[in-house]
Amino acid sequence: MQSLAPLLLLSLLFSLLLFCNANQANYLHGQLKSRISQNSISSSDSWSQLHAQREYSPVFLTSQDGQMQADKISTLPGQPDNVDFDQYSGYITVDPLAGRALFYYFVESPTNSSTNPLVLWLNGGPGCSSFGYGAVEELGPFRVNSDGKTLFRNNYAWNNVANVIFLESPAGVGFSYSNTSADYNTTGDIRTAGDAYTFLVNWLDRFPQYKDRDLYITGESYAGHYVPQLAYTILINNKRSNQTVINLKGIAIGNAVVDDSMLGQGYFDHLWTHALNSDETHAGILKYCDFVNDTASDKCFSFVQKSSDEAGDFDINNIYAPVCLNPVLKNGSTGSVNFFDPCSDTYVEYYLNTAEVQGAFHVRPTTWSGCRRFHWTDWQSNVWPTIQSLMASGMRVWLYSGDIDANVPVTSTRYAINSLKLPVETAWRPWYLDDEVGGYVVGYEGLTFVTVRGAGHLVPSYQPQRALTMISSFLQGVLLPFLIIWIITLTTPEK
């Protein structure tokens, strides 16, 4: 068991961030904060052990015959013309006794859907919706216009290169539910991974043409827990003779929470290097705070408070983004994928709470919201042991970071990776899109790390085209593109 002490410091840090508007970021920080009142925090080792003991039913819970056709979406209210791919949505029961069912939205590729890989996408929180964020604000084919009634096309959607499942997980998030409300108080990392595994086994039975397809699991933020934990669950169950073999090939996680002890330092270093904090305050934090061992003192606390006062009320998900000043619906404006509207949550919430829309998605009448606060029972404070067992199995493992996110900043991710002391196989270099630097890439033994330049926490929201290039490279198993033609300026004027 890890000591509770480091959590005190982290919780103080993140309680200061809670004044920001309610969004995905704050659920993560809220959960970090509320952890100190909880006893059952499993350490990394006990997580794997506990988990390995779990048995999943090898038989399908319910017959999936005919369900695929029933889940097919004929048309979505307000969708644009010329939709050239198939979409499905519905529930998969993951626990018939408790009455737990997970909601998914599945979009096929317009071309090559019968050969393109399968990608599962998971948002974090814990407790935030992969549908309301991932599908309709990030990488899905549509985004919601500011009227809250119509949709526009995302030309850089990931279904251009894969068939994508968005899973609202765990039960209690978005349209996913449990008929046993006590489930919402007994959910943690272990239940979430188990239910997602059961979901996948049954989903593949509902969509049997995908049973042998290459599968990649992707996600962001707190999905730094969900993605490796689900992958690990698949890995151990694939070895059991009576289980469905899932053809899992790799994982990619964005601005991922993988190691609690690296979050704090990375956060303050990011603020200082991006000119949001003074030299004095940063020096005070370096001197008095120890986020790894926790030597939290009153001095440390007062510098953390100063850091927050100095930085002011910015968008923690993207330090340079405009904030939503007027969260209301606006008539007659058509959105553009090239500009992420900071009030998007408002439009999405309205759209998904429209009866006609819920009918088109085959959901029970529900008050949908983007995030739900759980009493989270177990939490793997360091996910590396799980990720390293995936690396050891030969699975493709990518971590990527939007580099202007302060929520789970690129610095925290680099410190976390550096703590592993992995040998570098491909040295740090820029990658290019349309003759411009799209970000940077470095290849370690067993792990690739990619940055996406100018992207915040929700990478595809802020840099949709770069995000598509990044995920295409991941799926193809190639490092990101070099600049093919080097432009050399021969005549540099003297100054």
Ligand X SMILES: *[C@@H]1O[C@H](CO)[C@@H](O)[C@H](O)[C@H]1NC(C)=O
Q: Which residue numbers are catalytic?
A: 221, 405, 457
Considering the complex, what minimum distance in angstroms separates the CB of residue 452 from ligand X? Answer: 21
CB 444 within 8 A of CB 423: yes
In the bound state with ligand X, the residue whose beta carbon lies nearer, of 58 and 394, is 58
Compute how many residues bind ligand X; rule: CB under 6 A.
19
61 binds ligand X per the rule CB under 6 A: no
Considering the complex, what minimum distance in angstroms separates the CB of residue 366 from ligand X? Answer: 12
Q: Which two tokens stand for residue 115?
A: 């050969």
Considering the complex, what minimum distance in angstroms separates the CB of residue 185 from ligand X? Answer: 4
How many whole angstroms separate alpha carbon 421 and alpha carbon 412?
15
The SS3 of residue 56 is coil
53 binds ligand X per the rule CB under 6 A: no
Neighbours of 322 (CB within 10 A): 12
86 binds ligand X per the rule CB under 6 A: no
Q: Which two tokens stand for residue 206?
A: 């509902």
Give burial (CB, 10 Å; 0-12/13-18/19+) of 100. buried
Site for ligand X in 265-304 (CB under 6 A): 290, 292-293
How many whole angstroms separate alpha carbon 318 and alpha carbon 374?
25
In the bound state with ligand X, the residue whose beta carbon lies nearer, of 101 and 410, is 101
Considering the complex, what minimum distance in angstroms separates the CB of residue 238 from ligand X? Answer: 11
Q: Which of 375, 394, 424, 482 binds ligand X (CB under 6 A)?
A: 375
Stretch that binds ligand X, among 44-52, 176-184, 205-213, 439-447 (CB under 6 A): 176-184
Considering the complex, what minimum distance in angstroms separates the CB of residue 492 from ligand X? Answer: 40
Strands 100-107 and 118-122: unpaired
In the bound state with ligand X, the residue whose beta carbon lies nearer, of 182 and 325, is 182
Q: Which of 69, 74, 182, 478 binds ligand X (CB under 6 A)?
A: 182
* DSSP conformation letters of 281-322: HHHHHHHH--TTT----HHHHHHHHHHHHHH-S--TT-TTSP
DSSP state for residue 159 in the 8-state scheme: G
Q: Which two tokens stand for residue 352?
A: 């998904």
In the bound state with ligand X, the residue whose beta carbon lies nearer, of 455 and 470, is 470
CB 62 within 8 A of CB 96: yes
Strands 215-220 and 248-254: parallel
Q: Which of 37, 46, 111, 297 binds ligand X (CB under 6 A)?
A: 111
Q: Give the contact letters, 233-262, x = binds to ligand X (CB under 6 A), - = no.
A: -------xxx--------------------
Site for ligand X in 331-360 (CB under 6 A): 331
Q: Which two tokens stand for residue 59?
A: 């038989």
* DSSP conformation letters of 106-148: EE--SS-TTTSPEEEEE--TTTB-IIIIIIIIISSSEEE-TTS
99 binds ligand X per the rule CB under 6 A: yes
Considering the complex, what minimum distance in angstroms separates the CB of residue 375 from ligand X? Answer: 5
In the bound state with ligand X, the residue whose beta carbon lies nearer, of 178 and 380, is 178
DSSP state for residue 43 in the 8-state scheme: -
Position with the least CB separation from ligand X: 99
* DSSP conformation letters of 16-64: HGGGSPSSHHHHHHHHHHHGGG-S----HHHHHHHHHT----SS-SS--
In the bound state with ligand X, the residue whose beta carbon lies nearer, of 161 and 311, is 161
How many whole angstroms separate alpha carbon 151 and alpha carbon 78?
6
Q: Which of 46, 114, 155, 185 binds ligand X (CB under 6 A)?
A: 185
- Binding residues vs ligand X (CB under 6 A): 58, 93, 96, 99, 101, 111-112, 179, 181-182, 185, 240-242, 290, 292-293, 331, 375
